Amino acid sequence: MKRISLTRFLVEEQRLNNNIPAELRLLIEVVARACKTISHAVGKGALGEVLGTAHSENVQGEVQKKLDILSNEILLEANEWGGHLAAMASEEMETIHPIPNRYPQGEYMLLFDPLDGSSNIDVNVSIGTIFSVLKAPEGMAIPTEQDFLQKGSQQVAAGYAIYGPQTMLIFTTGNGVNCFTLDREMGSWVLTERNIQIPVDTQEFAINMSNVRHWYPPVTRYVDEMLAGKTGPLNKNYNMRWIASMVADVHRILHRGGIFMYPADKREPDKAGKLRLMYEANPMSMIVEQAGGASTDGKQRMLDIQPHALHQRVPVFLGSKNEVELITRYHAEHS
Ligand code: AHM
Ligand code: MG
């Protein structure tokens, strides 16, 4: 197999398609390097004394794990000094993190969920890092939280690293989705899949079924129809998978098709669901669309939503195009 490194891929991509400016290339390489460090810490587990809770809460009131905090610090430190960023924002930090003025300011802003799937950390199940890249406002002004509130369609890059049996990096700069595997001996990212495409039809769904009693009618209807199988209205038998790591569930869907759902439910008066628009839904939606899939909040295209808060939550329906269109239609019919 001819080995194409991440660096070579990025340089050639810039040369051929001119869609990865030099600073963005640097940004992706730095994020990839940080993910390698996180992967190393995750891989050590109890031997690195990184498992367990940190006895602190994040801005959403969720208990933080030691690895949540460590991964956040690794990403901040790696990205502060390179001159490619103007500011960062993280699921684990209440407010934005402007680049300290001892370092040069760059033209991009980076958002991340440093370690997604926290409930899986201590049980050795796949977890990941999700990232999203936006352009900073023109001029040299220090970005504010308001500057981050851009629609997902404004993202210039999005990706995730998955820490599973293999460590992989999947990202898009708006020109398809490519996958790199970490060669642990060499310490380098190697291109292992080009232009991933999600099958438009599927017989697999992912949802936390324990919440069934809290769902709204469009979701109950859709899941009931899937469970009815071949003799039901959808005319096929479905299988279910739920890893409880969005990164791992989306990774599976990218490769074999499927629909991932985290709906809003009756427990939350604001009908927002669990997942975060800026750190989870938007980057995953860009990846899924670039792979030929679809993503909505049940009502509209995810990437068209105008954010109103940094830590905003949103219902998520993404994956194989025909299924996402169906559940979105059910929402319209029940409204
Ligand atoms: P996290 O960012 O705190 O880890 O939460 C997000 C995760 C997703 O990865 C996953 O899809 C979901 O929460 C699992 O939720 P549940 O606990 O309801 O299964
Ligand atoms: Mg998360």
Q: What is the pLDDT of residues 273-298, one digit of tens each?
A: 999 999 999 999 999 999 999 999 99
CA distance 31 to 60: 24
Protein residue with least CA distance to atom 5, ligand 1: 117
Range with the largest mean pLDDT of 41-45, 69-73, 250-254? 250-254
**Per-residue pLDDT at 268:** 77
Distance, CA 234 to ligand 2 centroid (Å)? 31
Residue 90 φ/ψ region, left for φ over 0, alpha for ψ in the -120 to 50 degree band, beta for the rest: beta
Among 262, 24, 30, CA closest to 129: 30
Counting beta carbons within 10 angstroms of the beta carbon of residue 109, is it exposed (0 to 12), middle (13 to 18) or buried (19 or more)? buried
**Per-residue pLDDT at 164:** 97
Distance, CA 204 to ligand 2 centroid (Å)? 22
**Per-residue pLDDT at 51:** 76
In the predicted structure, residue 45 carries a pLDDT above the cut 90:
no
Query: What is the distance of C-alpha 2 from the center of its chain?
Result: 29
**Most distant pair of Cα atoms in the chain: their distance:** 66
Which of 113, 122, 262, 265 for a ligand 1 pocket mutation test, highest count of atoms within 8 Å of Cβ? 262
Average pLDDT across the chain, whole number: 94
CA-based end-to-end distance of the chain: 53
Q: Which of the 8 DSSP states describes residue 279?
A: I
Average pLDDT of 97-116? 95
Q: What is the pLDDT of residues 165-178, one digit of tens each?
A: 999 999 999 999 99
What b-and-e string marks burial along 245-273, b requiring 16 or more CB atoms within 10 Å of the CB? bbbbbbbbbbeebbbbbbbbbeeeeeebb
Identify residues whose C-beta is under 5 A from ligand 2, the ion: 113, 116
Distance, CA 299 to ligand 2 centroid (Å)? 22
Q: What is the ipTM of this complex?
A: 0.96
In the predicted structure, residue 10 carries a pLDDT above the cut 90:
yes
Q: Confidence band (pLDDT; 50, 70, 90) for 140?
A: low
**Per-residue pLDDT at 133:** 98
Q: Spell out the residues 6+ positions from residue 334 whose beta carbon is closer than 8 angstroms to its own.
A: 216, 217, 218, 221
Give the start-end residues of each E strand in 226-306.
239-240, 259-262, 294-296
Protein residue with least CA distance to atom 7, ligand 1: 117
In the predicted structure, residue 139 carries a pLDDT above the cut 70:
yes
Dihedral sign of CA atoms 281, 205, 68, 166 in order: negative
| Cα dihedral value 31, 33, 34, 39, nearest 10 | 120
The three-state DSSP-derived secondary structure of 124-173 is CCCEEEEEEEEECCCCCCCCCHHHHCCCHHHCCEEEEEEECCCEEEEEEC
In the predicted structure, residue 269 carries a pLDDT above the cut 80:
no
Helices (H), 158-258: 217-227, 246-256
Atom of ligand 1 nearest to the CA of 242: 19
CA distance 332 to 300: 10
Which of 58, 64, 65, 119 for a ligand 1 pocket mutation test, highest count of atoms within 8 Å of Cβ? 119
> Which residues are documented as binding site for Mg(2+)?
91, 113, 115-116, 280
Atom of ligand 1 nearest to the CA of 91: 2
**Per-residue pLDDT at 63:** 67
Protein residue with least CA distance to atom 3, ligand 1: 118
Atom of ligand 1 nearest to the CA of 245: 9
Pocket of ligand 1 (CB under 6 A): 62, 113, 116-119, 208, 244-246, 262, 274
Q: Confidence band (pLDDT; 50, 70, 90) for 212?
A: very high
Among 230, 280, 22, CA closest to 130: 280
Q: Which ligand has the minimum distance to the alpha carbon of residue 248?
A: 1
pTM over 0.90: yes
